[in-house]
Amino acid sequence: MFPFRGVDYMEIDGLFSDQEKLVRQTVREFVDKEVIPHIEEWYRDGKFPMHLVSQMAELGFYGANMQGYGCAGMSNVEYGLIMQELERGDSGLRSFASAQGALVMYPIKEYGSEEQKQRWLPAMAQGKAIGCFGLTEPDFGSNPAGMRARAKKDGDQYILNGEKTWITSGTIADVALVWARAEDGVRGFLVERGTPGFTSKDIKGKMSLRASVTSSLSLQDVRVPASNMLPNVRGMKGPLSCLTQARYGIGWGAIGAAMACYNEALEYAKTRTQFDDKPIASHQLVQAKFAEMITEITKAQLLALQVGRLKDQGWADFAHVSMLKRNNVKIALDIARAARDILGANGVADEYPIFRHMCNLESVFTYEGTHNIHTLIIGERVTGIPAYK
């Protein structure tokens, strides 16, 4: 793998503060030292690097853009840069951090009781507790509002029943935030590992995100105290607002995967020679690919930065984030495929990072709102007409 020195065609670094660049550099060094030398092996073995959980916590990666309760209190742009650099290493690491911070810590902070916040947030920020987010069901993915999971009140307890699937970190989580329909609407419940009736198992045979744990959750007459319900949110606003947080991080993360593929293909093309000992980078058809890639990366960087600045000013909403996620993941996937082509046969070998990123990005294209669903969200924003059904 070739060394990475950043990708900045349009002097975008000048738009970042010194503090933002310092955060990026810290994560970049962490990824270069702790992830890049080993990721090929973890991916091949389908293994999530559990030993990095505490190291990432020490660097403040979990809930980094949240204030208080032991969180790093960074800006949304700094948080985005963390996600970018983590995903340059591997989408699996970024997925772990997204689930932990945006999908579990964020709703506890926003909608939880003080007791829930005290119990979980410091422990999760320190990596001493792991969380997962259970929304998707076997029959309800793009349309989670159709969920079958049910919560029935029984005295000072709730009884939960249902199946959740494709849940990041499911089997390694100490606490699952499970969304289920109660009598008064969809509610979020904190279900601790080991609660009777609650089981989880890993989904095997993934050709994507192999260095990430993905699981199914089963809840059969699981009793949790009513105090485990997030008291301050009801309806689909709860899970959807978490998704907006996670999608924001994904929009940045995808740039990292795209930059890794671009960098690798560029260095390769400058040294690989064919026909009269000329580097393949000297051919117009190859250069056309690089021109396309760097243009799309530059546009993606500007889009992410603008959404980040809007978010820091309190103006970013879910439709802005949809454009960020939709565009940046799509261009990253296109760049990964083009970069794979530039490496020829070597492009399919896991000695190079491109095929792994490409496979990962297939999941990223699908999760947190598929590309189609984000198209419909943007379509509704500009026309005022919802076209989901």
Q: Nearest-CA neighbor of 88 among 234, 215, 261, 232?
A: 261
Is there binding between residue 180 and ligand FAD (CB under 6 A)? no
Query: For ligand FAD, which residue of 67, 118, 271, 372 counts as binding (CB under 6 A)?
Result: 372
Indicate whether 229 belongs to the interface with ligand FAD (CB under 6 A): no
Q: Rank residues 345 and 382 by Cβ distance to ligand FAD and give the closer one.
A: 382
What gap in Å lies between CA 76 and CA 112, rounded to an integer? 21
User: Considering only residues 272, 312, 370, 379, which one is a binding residue for ligand FAD as defined by CB under 6 A?
Assistant: 370
Residue 176 engages ligand FAD in binding (rule: CB under 6 A): no
- Tell which positions 77-116 bind ligand FAD, by CB under 6 A: 99
- Nearest CB to ligand FAD, comparing residues 116 and 363: 363
Q: Which of 127, 367, 374, 377 contacts ligand FAD by CB under 6 A? A: 367
Quick one: 39 or 373, whose CB is closer to ligand FAD?
373
- If binding means CB under 6 A, how many residues of this protein chain bind ligand FAD? 21
Q: Catalytic residue, from 87, 115, 368, 380: name it.
A: 368
**Restricting to residues 194-213, which ones interact with ligand FAD according to CB under 6 A?**
209
Task: Output the smallest distance, CB 85 to ligand FAD, in A.
Answer: 20
Which is closer to ligand FAD, CB of 268 or CB of 365? Answer: 365
Q: Is 377 in the site for ligand FAD (CB under 6 A)?
A: no
Window of 56-64, 74-82, 348-356, 362-370 that interacts with ligand FAD by CB under 6 A? 362-370
368 has catalytic annotation: yes
Between residue 108 and residue 167, which ones bind ligand FAD under the rule CB under 6 A? 133-136, 141-142, 166-167
Query: Cβ-closest residue to ligand FAD?
Result: 141
Q: If phi over 0 gives left and psi between -120 and 50 gives alpha, with beta otherwise, what is residue 53?
A: alpha
Rule CB under 6 A: which residues touch ligand FAD? 99, 133-136, 141-142, 166-168, 209, 214, 363, 366-368, 370, 372-373, 376, 388
Active-site residue list: 368
